[in-house]
Structure 1
Amino acid sequence: MIPANAAPLAIALLGLLLGMRHATDPDHVIAVTTILSRERRLAVAARIGVVWGLGHTLTVLIVGAAIIVFKIAIPARLGLAMEFAVAVVLILLGIGAAASLVLKGASRMRRGSSHQEHLVVHAHAHEHDGAMHAHPHVHAGSHEDTDAMHHDHMIDVDALPAFAARRPLLRSFAVGLVHGLAGSAAIALLVLSAIPQPLWATLYLAIFCVGTIIGMGLITTAIATPFMVVSRQASWIRQTLVTGSGLLSFGFGLFLAYQIGIVDHLFSTAPIWIPQ
């Protein structure tokens, strides 16, 4: 593919489509699925995918453009180490999903052990987007606590949706950074082999990254929709989905770690790295 003889529109379209295809790589989908499996809002789930794509784009553009422009050679061990970081992230995401489930179970057990306490049900008025409405909720305490206006609250997730959304978005961005770092060398070398001119290659890389952002946004929306529809039927279904996605992430992370560390000899004297 020679840019001087090819239509710029065709090059842009190809980069966009390949970027969207890149978003469907198994490690990408598994990582994002593990993060969004806990979400109950489709808009937040879609933003998780877009934010993942932004993190991925940042490292791909920085590292990839440096490789293209300055012809930087990536040592085999460094290339494998960047890919091994993805395996570590997948394992940590899986462990995090399992730990979250255990903490929820322990919290329910503690609440169950305090069944003798008097339950106070009341509502507080909150303003969302200029409209006032009330959130009924329950407090455990004595009869003297029935005055709804005089007691302290823990963080109300319904009243503070932005606070609840920050952590998954930050987590998604960080995971995207790691995935972009792992794939940047392979993507840049592939682009450079097809487009020798640095300017065109860098432009193609940027379009490729835009396609990845779009693709991941569409994928997370497509995955999150059935997740949320099914999880509304029963809480145990939601817990099963969270646990299953966590176990899948953990297992796939272990597989990648074995493949990179043992089969590709990351920790030996002669590592084998084939960018792909």
Structure 2
Amino acid sequence: MLMEPAGILALGFGLGALHALDADHLLAVTGLSGSETRQSGGLRYCLPWALGHGMALFAVGGAVLALDLAIPHRLSAWAEILVGVLLAYIGARLVGNWWTERYPRGEGEAPRSRGAYLVGLIHGTAGTAPLLAVLPAAAMHSEWAGLAYLAIFCVGVLTAMLAFGGVLGSTIAALARRRDRSLGMARAGIGITAFTMGLVLVGETWAHG
């Protein structure tokens, strides 16, 4: 039985929210915002990441709908490898900043915010699997239903990531107010985890590519 459009849209929102909370996504935005101390710091990186991610997903999904294209496996594989490389770089940089106790300030923040948008774009290109799992069902109703599904999926991603950004910013600000080593140790732990996960992602994707 064909799923009703309302059910497809609700499913799209839920899948989008879950997709945003993938471990590599959370580690990327946490690593990018790791040098922040303000409560708004998490949102400064989660928002551009979510916008970049949504832009990539909408472009890829729109091409699938409009041109009846299949996503090349090699494109997704290389995007996954690039995600791993970027994640390892973000982690290494965060650990390096913690080690030298030189956390960027002032003018250094803007490039990282723009970098979050770029990381989101790459994540979106690599993360099309949950999108395309339901997109054909939406497209069976009409191309407009498919586009609506794409949009609501991206809204789910944005909503979940903004919620995480709020929690992340509050946590960082609370640790910063303690004025002890807890924030530095948290940054180091996040950096090491991101670096390790990046290398594992590259290795697994390369082995199965």
Matched, 1:199 2:196: no
Partner amino acid, structure 1, of 2:195: F
Inter-partner Cα distance in structure 2 for 1:205 and 1:192: 8
SS at match of 2:127: helix
More divergent stretch after superposition (209-218 vs 188-197): 188-197
1:111-190 to structure 2, matched below 5 A, reads 163-184=107-128, 186-190=129-133
- Percent identical among aligned pairs is 30
CA contact (8 A) 1:20 1:212 kept: yes
* Unaligned runs of at least 5 residues, structure 2: none
Partner amino acid, structure 2, of 1:21: L
SS at match of 2:101: helix
Q: CA RMSD in A?
A: 2.3
Matched, 1:76 2:73: yes
Inter-partner Cα distance in structure 2 for 1:31 and 1:229: 21
* CA positional deviation for 1:103: 4.1
The equivalent residue for 1:112 is none
The equivalent residue for 1:231 is 176
| Closer/same/farther in 2, CA of residues 188 and 15 from structure 1, 3 Å limit | closer
The equivalent residue for 1:91 is 88
Matched, 1:39 2:36: yes
Give the number of the structure whose alpha-carbon radius of gyration is greater: 1
Matched, 1:60 2:57: yes
Inter-partner Cα distance in structure 2 for 1:45 and 1:85: 23
SS at match of 2:155: helix
More strand per residue: 1 or 2? 1
CA contact (8 A) 2:136 2:146 kept: no
The equivalent residue for 2:204 is 259
Inter-partner Cα distance in structure 2 for 1:167 and 1:241: 23
Inter-partner Cα distance in structure 2 for 1:215 and 1:204: 17
Partner amino acid, structure 1, of 2:147: T
TM-score (ref. length: structure 1): 0.68
SS at match of 2:69: coil
SS at match of 2:170: helix
The equivalent residue for 1:126 is none
Inter-partner Cα distance in structure 2 for 1:99 and 1:221: 26
CA-to-partner distance for each residue in 1:218-276, whole Å, 9 max, x for gaps? 012112322321232134222211111111100001111111112x1x2xxxxxxxxxx
* CA positional deviation for 1:188: 4.2
* CA positional deviation for 1:83: 1.3
* CA positional deviation for 1:42: 1.5
* Unaligned runs of at least 5 residues, structure 1: 108-154, 267-276
More helix per residue: 1 or 2? 2
Inter-partner Cα distance in structure 2 for 1:55 and 1:75: 20
| Closer/same/farther in 2, CA of residues 7 and 57 from structure 1, 3 Å limit | closer
Inter-partner Cα distance in structure 2 for 1:79 and 1:164: 31
Inter-partner Cα distance in structure 1 for 2:180 and 2:116: 24
